[in-house]
Structure 1
Amino acid sequence: MKTPVAFIIFKRPDTTEQVFQAIRQAKPPKLFVIADGPRTDRPEEVQKCELTRATIERVDWDCEVLNNYSDINLGCAKRVSSGLDWVFDQVEEAIILEDDCVPNPTFFPFCEELLDKYRYDNRVASISGQNVQFGRKRTNYSYYFSRYNHCWGWATWRRAWQHFDIQMKLWTEIQEGGFLNDILTDRQAVDYWTSMFESVFANPASTIWSYQWTFACWVQSSLGIISNVNLISNIGFGLDSTNVTANQKQRYGSLPTEAIDFPIKHPPFIIRDFQADSFTQETLFRQSKLQLLKQRLNKLLKY
């Protein structure tokens, strides 16, 4: 393996250990470790953070380990985004794993091959091992192209990450111009993402970073690569998890992984899979009818 791995950790030594063992098997030559600090109102997190960071001290293969540990709690959005800024200040590309995303062993060579293949293709912004299609496949190729950039086990390049903006300064212009309609074309999807982006724009530091990353990719008309089998099992849906909805717990917790076949079958075209994206929007990114009604009513009241 030649590609660096960025490992994002916090306060869960048990899940961190499982992901660490998967990284240990892959033996990356360089390991970037990004860690947030304990929250001041939760003194028990001091020891949890220390135990979690101790896992990294057991690197026993030929590997350069670089640590970016925060003494204070920055929160998910600031810690992950500042940590990845640090990573891409030093390398052109990386595979990224959080402390609860256990990869299938084939995830690493899958990312590595595609990082190489699409290194200079600005149409592609990310590579993901997270598949939420529940076995649905439109082709027999190894992956498909999506407007989504799932982040439970993924990879990207500096050229793509440079567009990330935690403040989402372009949101006002995109919103006023109605450009989400051009990107999504579906009214319910537009309502959902308008609500999400408005919330993030109002308080960017209090959210998870992935909304800003999605926005950054969309405003560049970038595509994400999604493996056609699920390569990542998220084991973090426990009492200690954060930023998890009931829908995600029920449907996506600890999904089994499947090895991807090699040699990789590359599609001979770069076309977004509309059917797969529609399924993702309707299942992973959905609002209840009541939520949609309230949102539309609020819009009307503004006028």
Structure 2
Amino acid sequence: MKTPIVFLIFKRPEATEKVFDVIRSAKPEKLFVVADGARYDRANEAEQCEITRAIVDRVDWDCEVFKNYSDVNLGCAKRVSSGLSWTFKQVDRAIILEDDCIPDPSFFRFCEELLERYEDDERICSISGQNVQFGRRRTENSYYFSRYQHCWGWATWRRAWQHFQFDRAVWERVKAEQLLKDILIDDRAVRVWHKIFEVTYSGEVDSWASRWMLSCWLQNGLSILSNVNLISNIGFDTDSTNTDDTVSPYNNMTRESLDFPLKHPSFMVRDNQADDFTQKTLYNYYPTLTEKIHKRFKKIAFWSSNLF
């Protein structure tokens, strides 16, 4: 495969090995490995980091391997964003996988073909194999356009990543000018994302992905999302930075394969219905009381069914 792959790793050797095996099957010509350092106050974490990094040394195909390993713990937001900035100083496009996101093999061809097709189209910020529609689809096309930049298995270009903004100052301007209302229209979505960005830029939540989302919205950028789910996130556990709900329907979702040749949409129109569903489900971080009760009963039912 001609397109470089960025592999984001930390301290989970079992998950890392599973993703690495899929990368090995794709045989990229260039592999960029970005690793964070251990936290000084976590027992055995340094050892786990070393074991995880050793997995990458098993590259057994014709491949240039570039390593960006931190000696100290930078945290998720700074480590991922600095690693991607380092990557895009060297290449103009890349496919990006975290250590807990297992792709279907068709994911690589999907990204590679669309990275080429939309390389000069400034309207598109990213391509992702993460589909959270649970079978809902409006067309027979291979993908649709969205305002959401999903990052469980994705790809982008240097031209898009140059718009990434880390510092809080950009969020302060968005608040001052009330731009979320212009972007999202829906008042509830505005309230949800205002809270998301507030906890992100205050440092309460260690997220690069929320910063990337806002950076793309401020460019009026769209993403391309596969019309079937190509990625299983196996990282929903207590070791995860931001995904620790093992009962979540997004935990280890079933992967499907895409058919080729790809069926391209005739028009570049955002799928508002799909985005509305995503906002009300995946991004329903601050549910109403009724929704909280419903979610609680679902968890009780899940645990009860697993007792017998």
Q: Would you say same fold, with TM above 0.5?
A: yes
Identity %: 59
Deviation of 1:168 (Å): 4.1
Does structure 2 conserve the Cα–Cα contact (< 8 Å) formed by 1:106 and 1:260?
yes
Cα gap change, 1:188 to 1:135, in 2 (>3 Å): same
Match of 1:155 in 2: 155
The CA RMSD over aligned residues, in Å, is 1.5
Task: Determine helix, strand or coil for the equivalent of 2:102.
Answer: strand
Deviation of 1:289 (Å): 2.1
- State the distance in 2 between where 1:119 and 1:169 align: 29
- Unpaired segments of 5 or more residues in structure 2? 292-308
Match of 1:187 in 2: 187
Does structure 2 conserve the Cα–Cα contact (< 8 Å) formed by 1:229 and 1:259?
yes
Structure 1 residues 146-176: Cα deviation after superposition (integer angstroms, max 9, x where no partner): 0001000000000000111111422222212
Task: Tell me the matched-pair count.
Answer: 290
Structure 1 residues 166-224: Cα deviation after superposition (integer angstroms, max 9, x where no partner): 114222222122211111111110000001112222228x5111000000000000000
- State the distance in 1 between where 2:140 and 2:168 align: 37
Does structure 1 conserve the Cα–Cα contact (< 8 Å) formed by 2:235 and 2:243?
no
Kindly provide the amino acid, as one letter, of the partner of residue 232 in structure 2. S
Task: Determine helix, strand or coil for the equivalent of 2:249.
Answer: helix
Deviation of 1:237 (Å): 1.3
Kindly provide the amino acid, as one letter, of the partner of residue 208 in structure 1. S
Task: Determine helix, strand or coil for the equivalent of 1:37.
Answer: coil
- Greater than 3 Å deviation, 4+ residue runs: none
TM-score by length of structure 1 reads 0.93
Residues 1-303 of structure 1: matches in 2 within 5 Å? 1-203=1-203, 207-244=206-243, 246=245, 249-286=247-284, 287-289=286-288
Match of 1:295 in 2: none
Kindly provide the amino acid, as one letter, of the partner of residue 258 in structure 1. E
Does structure 1 conserve the Cα–Cα contact (< 8 Å) formed by 2:127 and 2:223?
yes
Does structure 2 conserve the Cα–Cα contact (< 8 Å) formed by 1:126 and 1:156?
yes
Does structure 1 conserve the Cα–Cα contact (< 8 Å) formed by 2:232 and 2:252?
yes
Structure 1 residues 53-87: Cα deviation after superposition (integer angstroms, max 9, x where no partner): 00001000000000000111000000000000100
Does structure 2 conserve the Cα–Cα contact (< 8 Å) formed by 1:168 and 1:212?
no
Does structure 1 conserve the Cα–Cα contact (< 8 Å) formed by 2:144 and 2:224?
yes
Kindly provide the amino acid, as one letter, of the partner of residue 267 in structure 1. P
Structure 1 residues 276-300: Cα deviation after superposition (integer angstroms, max 9, x where no partner): 00000000001122599xxxxxxxx
Does structure 2 conserve the Cα–Cα contact (< 8 Å) formed by 1:124 and 1:224?
yes
Task: Determine helix, strand or coil for the equivalent of 1:252.
Answer: coil
- State the distance in 1 between where 2:266 and 2:160 align: 22
- State the distance in 1 between where 2:28 and 2:290 align: 45
Does structure 2 conserve the Cα–Cα contact (< 8 Å) formed by 1:130 and 1:227?
yes
Cα gap change, 1:127 to 1:241, in 2 (>3 Å): same
Kindly provide the amino acid, as one letter, of the partner of residue 25 in structure 2. Q
Deviation of 1:245 (Å): 5.0
- State the distance in 1 between where 2:10 and 2:203 align: 22
